[in-house]
Chains A and B, each alone.
Chain A
Amino acid sequence: MNKVFKQVLGWFIAAIFFFPIYFWITVSIKKDKDIFALPPKLFDFEVSFAAYEEVFGISRFLYVEDMGAVRPGGGDFYMMPNLVDSIIIALGSTGIAMLISILAAYSLSRLPIRGQQHFMGWILSTRMMPPVAVAIPMFFIYKNIGLMDTHLGIIIIHALMNLPLAVLLMKSFFDDIPKDIDEAALLDGATRFFVFWRLVVPLAIGGIAATAVLCFIFSWTEFIFVLMLTQTGLKTIPVVSTSFVTSTGTAWDNMAALGTAAIIPAFIFILLVQRHLVRGLTLGSVKQ
């Protein structure tokens, strides 16, 4: 009986946490009259994919074609370019962060370093910086060196933002691999880089994948850097989703369609690396 009660309570809690997500998805496929209905229509509403068509340009494409033009999209709520921006930035920043962090984490795990504790403390302190405190000076630096409002600028700042996580997490994955492997290979005459690249990295591939997924997600969801360091050149999904709130009202169904499209891939990614999730969330300090 106690066990059954625990199961029921557990599922009830899961339902409470899942409810806002479910509600958001239904908003994206509801018509206006059902979105604003009270009591809310949770199951018995009219399904419509018009919002998705508008956000991803399908209906707009046809409309523009009727007018004699061949250009797809162009409507107020056409979001494909922003989706592409988000993907470019998340992939680029993840690539840079992983490259730098794998090298650094290997040496932090294996090689003697003077003042290692202080260095780790410095990395952790970087993780504490409020984004606004970085973004204000970067705004002026970027203006001067021409990175303002560019993909490269956001890629670099997102890579920086993810570096503390990636370095500390990768160090914990490398620490899990016995150092005997390195030493045996070095004794046999292998070079340090060979040991790193051919022996240790392949053994840590699961950890590398998990770290990359987390970097991707944190770049994908980041808000304030993109808000402050871009003007018109690009907008990622979290920032552009605020543009649905207009003076004439809020386009809830379009906003929810974009939001749903942005969170579903993240759900799939995170479930794939769930085994390493807690370690990732705690920067490598709590192992599952």
Chain B
Amino acid sequence: MAAQKSYSLPSFMNSDSSLPWLLPLITMLIVFAIIPFFYNIYLSFHEFVPAKRALLFVGWDNWIRLFTDGVFWGSLKVSLYYTFMCLLIQLVLGMGIALLIDSDDPGFGIIRSILTLTLVIPPAIAGMIFLIMEDANYGLIPWLLKSVGLIGPEDTILADPTLALWGVMIVDIWQWTPFMVLILVAGLRSLPSEPFESAVIDGARPFQVFRRLTLPMLHKVIAVAILIRGIDLWRMVDYVFVLTSGGPGTATYTLSLYSWQRFTFVQWGYGATISLFSLIVILIVGNAFIHFAKVKW
């Protein structure tokens, strides 16, 4: 019993109460999640006034400004478009690739390993990789698009108001489609084989099997993948920061980037208001999604 005694030292941890175990976590969450949240609310009713060199109470000014600011609405549109389009493309591409490499053949294990590699690249560096590949003068991608005639000889990607957002989205799609692939492959691998075998015996066509069996059985895995990817897409800022800094003009401002940009212009209160708006939206949408898709942890 000697060994046991030496481990009974933190006696408060020997009761069946969960509080001492959770206390460090709760402290961290209060100090670094609850306090910033309320500080953000406080900031959204204040603004730095350069003439007085102080943060002063301004009432609802920041919120009124928010809803009358064209750049804010533009960045909201960009964030929504970016999140929705990337999610859709990554899900469809990911499902296609997952169905293809869902196999025990040894080669596919190596393919899955290769696909994990993009996930650990710092997003800022992934942005750099595509910054050189999309460079207007000596970039690989514009050169390819020009040689097949998809864009004109004088066109660019990142300096073009309509193409710039896609220039950013391509990085996200490249880096995070493997995320969908790996999750969906894990889901596919865990499915029982009997229903599929009997469906084939009954003469079901592949698409019917996919529509009637695979999709419903993967429901939970797909929901989790959409939730986590959706959260990260909504708060993405690294790629736009590196690739376009929001330009040309304000064409690729996302909510997070616009908030950061206002912050650096010493409009602290307004920057906080934008970020608070973005936070409230994701909290509501995210928790509603968890509720309605019945995602459980």
B7-A198 in contact (CB<8A) = yes
User: For residue B256, which residues in chain A have a CB less than 8 angstroms away from its CB?
Assistant: 130-132, 224
**How many inter-chain contacts with C-beta < 8 Å in the A-B complex?**
306
Question: Is B32 a contact of A241 with CB atoms below 8 Å?
Answer: no
Give chain B nearest CB distance to A117 CB in angstroms.
9
Give the Cβ gap from B76 to chain A, nearest Cβ, in Å.
13
B39 proximity list for chain A (CB < 8 A): 137, 140-141
Q: Which one of A101, A238, A255 lies within 8 Å of B123 (CB-CB)?
A: A238
Q: How close is A176's CB to chain B, nearest CB, in angstroms?
A: 14
Give the CA-CA distance A152 to B111 in the complex, in Å: 39
Inter-chain contact B125/A130, CB cutoff 8 Å: no
Interface string of A131-159 (1 = CB under 8 A from B): 11110111111000000000000001101
Indicate whether B45 reaches chain A with its CB closer than 8 angstroms: no
A3 touches B105 (CB 8 A): yes
Q: Is the CB of B224 within 8 A of A191?
A: no
B148 interfacial by beta-carbon distance below 8 Å: no
Contact A157 B183 (CB under 8 A): no
Residues of chain A contacted by B165 (CB below 8 angstroms): none
Contact A274 B183 (CB under 8 A): no
Q: Does A124 contact B (CB under 8 A)?
A: yes
Nearest CB to that of B276 among chain A residues? A133
Q: Which chain B positions have C-beta within 8 A of A259?
A: 122, 125, 128-129
Are A10 and B100 in contact, with the CB atoms below 8 A? yes
Q: Of B11-19, B63-71, B197-205, B208-216, which binds chain A?
A: B11-19
Please measure, in the bound complex, the distance between the C-alpha atom of A277 and the C-alpha atom of B182, giving whole angstroms. Answer: 9
CA distance A157 to B36 in the complex (A): 12
Q: Is the CB of A238 within 8 A of B275?
A: no
When chains A and B are docked, how far (Å) is the Cα of A3 from the Cα of B241?
Answer: 43
Distance between Cα atoms of A99 and B237 in the complex (Å): 29
Q: How far, in whole Å, are A112 and B40 apart by their CA atoms in the complex?
A: 34
Do A223 and B123 touch (CB < 8 A)?
Answer: yes
Are A132 and B187 closer than 8 Å at their CB atoms?
no
Task: Say if the beta carbon of B219 comes within 8 Å of chain A.
Answer: no
Q: Which residues of B contact A69 (CB under 8 A)?
A: none
Contacts of B220 in A (CB 8 A): 285-286
Chain B residue numbers with a CB within 8 Å of A263 are 120-122, 125
- A241 in contact with B25 given A124-B297, A131-B235 (CB within 8 Å): no
B297 touches A283 (CB 8 A): yes
Per-residue 0/1 for A221-259: is the Cβ within 8 Å of any B Cβ (1 yes, 0 no)?
111100110000000011101100000001010011001
With contacts A104-B22, A283-B297 known, is A128 near B231, CB below 8 A? yes
CB neighbours of B115 from chain A (8 A): 14, 17
A197 at interface by CB-CB < 8 Å: yes
B226 → chain A closest CB, angstroms:
11
Residues of A within 8 A of B140 (CB): 23, 38, 40
The segment from A48-56, A72-80, A160-168 found at the interface with B is: A160-168
Residues of B within 8 A of A11 (CB): 107, 111
- CA–CA, A163 and B228, complex, Å: 15
Alpha-carbon distance between A249 and B21 when the two chains are bound, in angstroms: 53
CA distance A2 to B233 in the complex (A): 36
Q: B121, A281: Cβ atoms under 8 Å?
A: no
Interchain CB contact under 8 A, A136 and B21 = no
A259 CB, nearest partner CB in chain B, Å: 4
Which of the residues A13, A196, A228 comes within 8 Å of B111, measured between beta carbons? A13
The answer to whether the Cβ of B151 comes within 8 Å of any Cβ in the partner chain is: no
* 17 residue pairs A–B, Cβ–Cβ below 8 Å: A10-B100, A24-B129, A36-B137, A38-B140, A124-B286, A130-B278, A130-B279, A131-B235, A133-B259, A137-B43, A138-B36, A193-B10, A198-B3, A224-B238, A256-B132, A262-B125, A286-B224
- Chain A positions within 8 Å of B, measured between CB atoms, are 3, 6-7, 9-11, 13-14, 17-18, 20-21, 23-24, 27, 35-40, 99-101, 103-104, 106-108, 111-113, 120-134, 136-141, 156-157, 159-160, 163, 167-168, 171, 189-194, 196-198, 217, 220-224, 227-228, 237-239, 241-242, 250, 252, 255-256, 259, 262-263, 266-267, 269-271, 274, 277-278, 281-288
New A-B contacts (19) at CB < 8 Å, excluding given A37-B138, A193-B10: A6-B100, A10-B100, A10-B101, A11-B107, A17-B177, A18-B117, A20-B126, A20-B133, A130-B237, A134-B36, A137-B40, A138-B36, A171-B297, A198-B3, A223-B123, A223-B237, A271-B113, A285-B295, A288-B189
